Amino acid sequence: MKIIKRSGKEAGFDASKITDAVNKANQEVPESDRLSPEQVLAIADQITRFCASKDRIYNVEEIQDMVENHIMGYKAYEVARKYITYRYRRALVRKSNSTDEQILTLIECNNEEIKQENSNKNPIVNSVQRDYMAGEVSKDITKRFLLPEKVVRAHEEGIIHFHDADYFAQHMHNCCLVNLEDMLQNGTVISETMIERPKSFSTACNVATQAIAQIASSQYGGQSITLSHLAPFVDVSRKKLQKAVREEFEAAGLELSEEKIRQVAEMRVEEEIRRGVQMIQYQVITLMTTNGQAPFVTVFMYLDEVEEGRLRDDLAMVIKEMLRQRMQGVKNEKGVYITPAFPKLIYVLEEDNIHEGSRYYDLTRLAAQCTAKRMVPDYISEKIMKENKEGNCYPCMGCRSFLTVYHDEQGKPKFYGRFNQGVVTLNLVDVACSSGKDMGKFWDILDERLELCKEALMLRHNRLKGTPSDVAPILWQYGALARLKKGEPIDKLLYGGYSTISLGYAGLCECTRYMTGKSHTDPEAMPFALEVMEHLNAACRKWQQETDIAFSLYGTPLESTTYKFAKCLQRRFGQIPGVTDKNYITNSYHIHVTEEIDAFSKLTFEAQFQKLSPGGAVSYVEVPDMQGNIEAVLAVMKHIYDNIMYAELNTKSDYCQVCGYEGEIKIIADDHGKLVWECPNCKNRDESKMNVARRTCGYIGTQFWNQGRTQEIQDRVLHL
């Protein structure tokens, strides 16, 4: 049995440390107030048996809380007071320099919590360690100097989650939709170097990848680009190649018709597209940003984003090549094709591609084959999104954050060049448990917590106010987001709906179960769940009217936070069946991962909640290997088109480097009860010698996960 030390390092559970600490407190009180030796041993034994009976590892703070409770359970209040005082003194010593031990264990790669914080960061790599080191210092500064104590306390107790505290000290925003069209058509500046309008498609792709890397280093969230901004450069290459072919044949003394020249040139155009797409795929994967990971980028594929005719056909060619190369995958160090995490792909389902026999149906079938093999693309229904977004269809920023609709000075909808200021997430399960099932008290507590969230979100907003454009020239001065002057503050972009700020929420499923005794899929419980969503949206609307800032309700992905929230809930309320008895809580409005439901019913049910999560949401269905059943994938895609705005299919795509097994790497419990990944063929458990890809919370993770998320992945049932 193990514990997690304050540094994040795992260590063996030692019950003698409990008895030693209690005995020290015991010796500081009069003999008449002391615990007996038998009682001291009983406390250690009870805590040991409790921890051994659970399927997760407890940290030192949690165990010390148990010690306090057990001492008071014996009515040894003087001993408890001395024990609490001892803890407080030790905490003060640690707080005087709270980052040293964290950083040292991080460098030595034995900090389990930080190692599993981000499923797309390799904590052994120097650049990742450097980012984490800076993050630990930044979090320490943020907690001690930049945030009020009540926000810090609520964050640490799991009442709210103040996202990305490791970046808060800097004046950085969350995520964005890159205005690649502006950067390519009007030129940009990258690392103080002028980049003019590209003269070919492949050059445009190269500029795009360089911009992606720079943008990723200037913000802390995801970014999205659209292929429609690259598509015009196909014809630029076409004209250039037609001229070159004509000159080549004239120089060789050969006569060719214009039709033949066009045919030869078109073959070269296809090769140019292949090279350009390959450049995007491989550069995005191999580029490393300043935070030690590949850029978190989404590529949007939407045919109707450009006019009909040559330009749309060129876009279709680019989309086809993007899907073809992604389906092939990329080679790992063993030379075997595997599933990469990025770029994330989103394919828009529309009238011209969803019906068999429609003009671009072949692209949709290719997308289905790619999803069956590599888990992407994900799908947006143009029809449903236009119903939900005032007649507009546009990409999310990163994996699920959606901007609100905004109109420019000419009254035209504008999405590219806009961004999200940040996120604070409310733990709905904690609100429910704190109410003791008293419905009136629930709504009162919810309103109190919402005011706390607003205060925390305004801290994020105010941190960005006054930020000069010079902090990230590529964003604010050279077209990615704006064309501000040097020294000009970004303030005007923070108001009037130009950018959004997100109220996240987590655990609607468990919240509803606690308050009603039923799943939110139950017709009797669903009205309560919908009322909670409406209440959260009403708060966002109220705040927007008060501040002129576009607050928006966001379905939080909860990558590592799901484990943190679960541990905090268990510490505060114990293990409540169906509510706090897992090492994770459910993302946003999702149906619980263990609930048996078919894919079509799940998507239809979740669509109504997705509509009430305008700041971002994505639904998924868990499916087996579908490579031999593409018709079933297409059936799900058609259901998405008719019923839900944004959804994805989760399958498995793993590889064992020890024995060459390709299939599903399994999750098992080791001898200490810790969940680990194991090859079913050769029993390899070395994570550095396997390639595992799983949908974590909207995007694909490839660097493994904490114990809470790992249990959630293990618990998932199939929907098809």
Tokens describing residue 337: 């094709």
Enumerate the H helices of 400-525 as residue ranges. Answer: 428-435, 439-464, 473-476, 508-516
How far, CA to CA in Å, does 539 sit from each of 402, 448, 505, 580? 18, 11, 13, 27
- List 162's β-bridge partners, or say none: 424
d(CA 136, CA 122): 17
d(CA 571, CA 561): 15
d(CA 428, CA 443): 11
How far, CA to CA in Å, does 8 sit from each of 37, 237, 702? 32, 54, 21
Of 676, 25, 141, 618, nearest in space to 376 by CA: 618
DSSP 494: G
- List 619's β-bridge partners, or say none: 647
Q: Are 399 and 182 in contact (CB under 8 A)?
A: no
- Tokens 């050279």 belong to residue: 478
Q: Please list, in sequence order, all residues whose beta carbon lies within 8 angstroms of the beta carbon of residue 674, skipping any fewer than 6 positions away.
A: 2, 57, 707
412-613-718 Cα angle (round to 5)? 125
Of 504, 610, 616, 508, nearest in space to 164 by CA: 504
Supply the residues annotated as catalytic. 174-175, 397, 399, 401, 420, 554, 559, 698
Q: Indicate the burial class of 171 (C-beta count within 10 angstroms; 0-12, 13-18, 19 or more).
A: middle
HSE, side-chain direction, 13 A CA sphere, residue 356: 3
- Tokens 């029993």 belong to residue: 683
Question: Where is 184: in which H helix or E strand?
Answer: helix 180-186
DSSP per position, 595-657 = S---HHHHHHHHHHHHHT-TTB--EEEE----TT-HHHHHHHHHHHHHH-SEEEEE---EEET
Amino acid (1-letter code) at residue 45: D
d(CA 149, CA 95): 14
d(CA 326, CA 370): 7
d(CA 689, CA 216): 28
Q: Indicate the burial class of 239 (C-beta count within 10 angstroms; 0-12, 13-18, 19 or more).
A: exposed
- Give, rounded to a whole angstrom, the gap between the first and last alpha carbons of the chain: 38
- Tokens 């458990």 belong to residue: 685
372: three-class secondary structure by DSSP: helix
From the CB of residue 78, how many other CB atoms can be counted at a distance below 10 Å?
Answer: 17
Ramachandran sector of residue 663 (left: φ over 0; alpha: ψ -120 to 50; beta: rest): left
d(CA 18, CA 14): 8
